């Protein structure tokens, strides 16, 4: 009896052991990475300069020899300031000659007026001939025309003398001199280049292949090369239609959203090109698991410290990384190594040293 009871107890014990719950999966330490989506695509970084939007190259309106230059490159000038002067000797002589001609013709005009009056009086008294009166009146008209011409010549000579002084007609900065004192210049020859400092823009040279493929709404960030923290946004104002034959680049002029005080004319700048894109994420190749013809990642629940699989769409991949565009959100943390040995709901221990 006791033996039978012992066998029954042993059977009950074995039965109880067979119904015991299996031990839970061990907590698995994993490496992980935090999701940071890319919203902009970088197209490059290029060097450029700050230039004035409006520049003009001016010269004398008359020919002559440059007597002196009144300002140097970099000087700020205001409207009416003197830039340079020509030797005025020849122009002064021309003015004196014109004034002499005017004085001579003015005397002739006085005589012609007196003669016309005398002939008119004689004709009115009946002692003068009509022919003599006609000659006097014709001479009067001819002399008046000569007087008008002489007065115009004097006025023109005065203008020519004034043109021997080159003055600026708007506030500007002198950026370049094309001539030196003592040099003989012709009328209209380029003498000095002036830039208006009130409106500035960024100027860069882009590779022709990139310039032809700039996407709509491309964003530019302009930074001071010496002070990279000083930045502003910019947009394309003008893109040269043809590439430079030597460098195969096209010059782009960018309108600045605002103009920091540090952006003076000639300031060296660094221009970054970027464009908005659909959010995408770059992950290590080891973070993506291929199963049943699908690509998936393992997302870590921060509260329960468990993992769950999630399908993703792979845009591209290389030897070390993959780029995915769907299935992930900013701020989430995913397992970056050992994904092939995980199970849904499995507890994990995140290696804090892997966080980035």
* pLDDT for residue 29: 78
* pLDDT for residue 356: 45
Tens of pLDDT along 28-65?
777 787 777 766 666 778 999 999 999 999 999 999 99
* pLDDT for residue 10: 57
Neighbours of 113 (CB within 10 A): 15
| Spatial distance between the Cα atoms of 181 and 162, rounded to a whole number of angstroms | 18
Q: Which residues pair with 312 in a beta bridge?
A: 295
Regarding the domain delimited by 28-37+279-354, which CATH topology (the fold level of the hierarchy) does it fall under? 2.40.420
H or E segment and range at residue 97: helix 89-125
pLDDT over 70 percentage in the chain: 88
Supply the angle between the helices 130-162 and 89-125 in degrees, to the nearest 10: 160
Q: How far apart are the first and last CA of the chain?
A: 71
pTM of the entire predicted model: 0.58
Q: How sure is the predictor about 25, in pLDDT bands with cuts at 50, 70 and 90?
A: low
Residue found by looking up tokens 């995913």 in the block: 334
Averaged pLDDT, 236-263: 91
- Sequence-distant (6+) residues with CB within 8 A of 155 are none
Is it the case that residue 145 has pLDDT exceeding 80? yes
| Spatial distance between the Cα atoms of 334 and 319, rounded to a whole number of angstroms | 20
Q: Phi and psi for 8 in degrees, rounded to 5?
A: -65, -40
Q: Quick one: DSSP state of residue 204?
A: E
Regarding the domain delimited by 55-87+164-195, which CATH topology (the fold level of the hierarchy) does it fall under? OB fold (Dihydrolipoamide Acetyltransferase, E2P) (2.40.50)
At the top level of CATH, the class of 43-53+198-278 is mainly beta
* pLDDT for residue 317: 81
* pLDDT for residue 1: 47
* pLDDT for residue 327: 67
Regarding the domain delimited by 89-162, which CATH topology (the fold level of the hierarchy) does it fall under? Helix Hairpins (1.10.287)
* pLDDT for residue 51: 92
Higher pLDDT, 89 or 214: 89
* pLDDT for residue 62: 94
Is it the case that residue 20 has pLDDT exceeding 70? no
| Spatial distance between the Cα atoms of 294 and 163, rounded to a whole number of angstroms | 82
Tens of pLDDT along 155-193?
999 999 999 999 999 999 999 999 999 999 999 999 999
Write the DSSP string, 269-305: EEEEEEEEEEEEEEEEGGG-EEETTEEEEEEEETTTT
| Spatial distance between the Cα atoms of 212 and 249, rounded to a whole number of angstroms | 11
Averaged pLDDT, 220-234: 92
Higher pLDDT, 294 or 163: 163
Q: What is the mean pLDDT of the chain?
A: 84
* pLDDT for residue 353: 46
Is it the case that residue 207 has pLDDT exceeding 50? yes
* pLDDT for residue 142: 94
Averaged pLDDT, 117-139: 88
| Spatial distance between the Cα atoms of 203 and 236, rounded to a whole number of angstroms | 10
Closest CA to 83 of 113, 60, 112: 60
> Where do the domains of the chain lie?
28-37+279-354, 43-53+198-278, 55-87+164-195, 89-162
Q: How sure is the predictor about 276, in pLDDT bands with cuts at 50, 70 and 90?
A: low
Q: How sure is the predictor about 344, in pLDDT bands with cuts at 50, 70 and 90?
A: confident
């Amino acid at each position: 009896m006791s033996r039978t009871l012992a066998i029954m107890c042993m059977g009950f014990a074995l039965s109880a052991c067979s119904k015991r719950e299996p031990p839970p999966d061990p907590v698995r330490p994993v490496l992980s990475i935090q999701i940071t989506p890319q919203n902009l695509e970088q197209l490059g970084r290029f060097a450029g300069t700050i230039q004035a939007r409006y520049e003009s190259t001016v010269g004398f309106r008359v020919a002559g020899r440059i007597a002196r230059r009144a300002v140097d490159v970099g000087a700020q000038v205001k409207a009416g300031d003197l830039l340079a002067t020509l030797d005025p000797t020849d122009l002064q002589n021309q003015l004196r000659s014109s004034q002499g001609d005017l004085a001579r013709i003015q005397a002739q005009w006085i005589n012609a007026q007196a003669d016309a009056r005398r002939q008119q009086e004689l004709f009115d008294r009946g002692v003068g001939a009509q022919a003599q009166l006609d000659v006097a009146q014709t001479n009067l008209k001819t002399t008046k025309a000569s007087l008008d011409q002489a007065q115009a010549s004097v006025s023109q000579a005065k203008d020519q003398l004034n043109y021997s002084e080159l003055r600026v007609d708007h506030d500007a900065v002198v950026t370049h001199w094309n001539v030196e004192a003592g040099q003989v210049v012709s009328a209209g020859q380029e003498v000095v280049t002036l830039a208006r400092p009130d409106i500035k823009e960024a100027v860069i040279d882009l590779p022709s292949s990139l310039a032809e493929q700039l996407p709509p709404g491309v964003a530019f960030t302009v930074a001071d090369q010496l002070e990279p923290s000083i930045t502003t946004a910019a947009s394309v104002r003008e893109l040269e239609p043809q590439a430079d034959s030597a460098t195969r680049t096209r010059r782009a002029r960018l309108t600045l959203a605002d103009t920091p005080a540090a952006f003076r004319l000639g300031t060296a700048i660094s221009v970054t090109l970027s464009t908005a894109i659909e959010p995408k994420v770059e992950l290590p190749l080891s973070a993506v698991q291929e199963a049943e013809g699908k690509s998936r990642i393992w997302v870590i629940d921060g509260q329960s410290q468990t993992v769950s699989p999630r399908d993703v769409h792979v845009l591209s991949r290389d030897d070390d990384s993959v780029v995915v565009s769907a299935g992930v959100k900013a701020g989430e943390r995913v397992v970056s190594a050992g994904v092939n040995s995980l199970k849904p709901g499995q507890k994990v221990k995140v290696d804090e040293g892997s966080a980035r």
